[in-house]
Structure 1
Amino acid sequence: MTKQMEIDGIPVTVVRKKIKSFNLYVKAPDGQVRVSAPARTSDRAVCAFVRAHMDWIIKQQHIIRTRNVTRRYETGEHIPVFGVPYPLVVREAEARRDCGVRQEGNQLVLTAPAGSTCEQREELLRRWQREQLHEVAGDLLDHWAPLLHVQVREWHIKRMKTRWGTCNYSAHRIWLNLALAEQPLECVEYVVVHELCHLLEASHSERFWNLMTKFLPDWPQRRTRLNQKKKAE
């Protein structure tokens, strides 16, 4: 028997059949979640199983959905700036000091050397995104750390393939994924609060999720939006 369910905002196809244990799949190309469950398993048990593996599911969905994203950083492409897509305009720089990225109205202008490569244009954009994310995340950390009564000794930004953020519990150190510069502000806030909660509870225990609910009650919706299928650009 096949049934469609929605668990914490994620659609799940549940197939009940004559097996002894659960099987979980995240399928390409869109990250569809499929669960095979023993025939007599209740919906409640299925929900508990999926929630227990939610971090793995989200990680796999992110890998699948970003695997084939290709950009040339050329005029006409769209680059999200905290969730808002901006058309990219590439211009040639008259001097090296003119190289960089800036917003002009509803456009994102990338000024690069004549004959620049895709990699050079990407590096200019990444540098600008790092600056934008550093400002936004810094304000969020300054706001949330006192509310959670935690101290962040240091935090950094880097490119990560499978995680939006990481936390070193003992060192009180947080890393944020540079790709957050393209995500909606509410999703950036979710990741910041998520990592700060890890300074109170290192694992994804029941206590951790209770803390998330206490400080950010709509975190499931934010997490779903963060990991939803990326729209074609």
Structure 2
Amino acid sequence: MPLTPDQSRPRRGGRGEFSRRWIDVDGQRALLIRKRVKNVYLRVKPPEGRIEVTAPARLPEAEIRRFVSSRMAWVEGARERIARSRRALGGGSGAVASRAEGSERERPAARGEHDEQERLRQARGILSGQLPGLLDRWVPVVGRGPTSITLRRMTTRWGSCTPASGRIRLNLELAWLEPRFLEYVLVHELTHLRASGHGARFQGLMDSYLPGWREVRRELNRYVIV
């Protein structure tokens, strides 16, 4: 979708989207997307580390700028994690060129598919590097360990657990967030190996493991699974 300036009356687009435009926040360019949402959501998009913020249609831009500015340290940390992953995986631009009938023009569909696969590969590398240390720390505390951990693309949740089999699944998108969110989701799922559901026993165990887990959960839920 082409970038469009803000209008006094937001223009509607697909998936509840009204408009897109670039804004400047502390000298950094960020893509502001106005949508039919209730909260402000922040993303750092690989491979180049672009800032993308989704906000309600009529939320004042000054409030959006303050929100993004307050999280610039996290943005820089996310960009550094992306850069480290790219270096570890050999870098590359992520573009796929196709030469046919003398043409060197890139094929957008093929390039987009390749970029997404590269992004998921980077995410898998980041999480695979973080999980061993977290498991070493938390399995002895919780007293239960998973039989397997699957890293996959998930669209509705950050993690899931099957207590009967001991299997845990984690969302690859956690790679692009602060490490404390991965820690919270992992501890959350490990706790399900001891307490199914989210009742009093589960909450009591979480309180003993991560006293501030509710605040971390609240912050995590401000991010969109894309």
**TM-score, with structure 2 as normaliser:** 0.58
Do 2:94 and 2:111's aligned partners in 1 also have CA atoms closer than 8 Å?
A: no
Q: Which runs of 5+ in 1 are unaligned?
A: 1-27, 33-60, 90-100
CA contact (8 A) 1:110 1:125 kept: no
2:37 corresponding residue in structure 1 = 30
Q: TM-score, normalised by structure 1?
A: 0.56
Tell me which protein shows more helix as a share of its residues.
2
1:135: Cα distance to partner? Answer: 1.7
How far 1:112 moved relative to its partner? 3.5
Question: Is the strand fraction higher in 1 or 2?
Answer: 1
- Counterpart in the other structure of 1:182: 176
Displacement of 1:147 after TM fit? 1.1
How far, CA to CA, are the matches of 1:207 and 1:177 in structure 2? Answer: 25
Give the match's secondary structure for 1:125: helix
**Kindly tell me: are residues 165 and 212 of structure 1, through their superposed partners in 2, closer, same or farther at Cα, counting changes over 3 Å?**
same
Per-residue CA deviation, residues 157-177 of structure 1 (Å, 9 max, x unaligned), is 011111100000010110000
Q: How does 1:165-180 map to 2 (within 5 A)?
A: 165-180=159-174
Distance in 1 (alpha carbons) for counterparts of 2:195 and 2:47: 44
Shift, 1:142, TM fit:
2.3
Over aligned residues, Cα RMSD in angstroms?
A: 3.7
Segments of structure 2 that go 5 or more residues without pairing to the other structure are 1-34, 53-71, 98-105
Paired positions, count: 156
Shift of 1:187: 0.8
Shift of the 229–173 alpha-carbon distance from structure 1 to 2, 3 Å rule, reads closer
Q: Residues 173 and 76 from structure 1, CA distance in 2 versus in 1: closer, same or farther, beyond 3 angstroms?
A: closer
Identical pairs, percent: 32
Asked if 2 retains the 8 angstrom alpha-carbon contact of 1:159 and 1:177, the reply is: yes
Task: Output aligned runs, 1:118-157, within 5 Å.
Answer: 118-157=112-151
**Are 1:192 and 2:176 an aligned pair?**
no
Residue equivalent to 1:102: 86
| Whole-Å separation in 2 of the counterparts to 1:145 and 1:197 | 10
- Residues 144 and 110 from structure 1, CA distance in 2 versus in 1: closer, same or farther, beyond 3 angstroms? farther
Matched residue, 1:201: 195
Partner of 1:94: none
Distance in 2 between the 1:85 and 1:149 partners? 31
The residue aligned with 1:22 is none
1:77 maps to: 50
Q: Which has the higher contact order (CA 8 A, sep 6+)?
A: 1
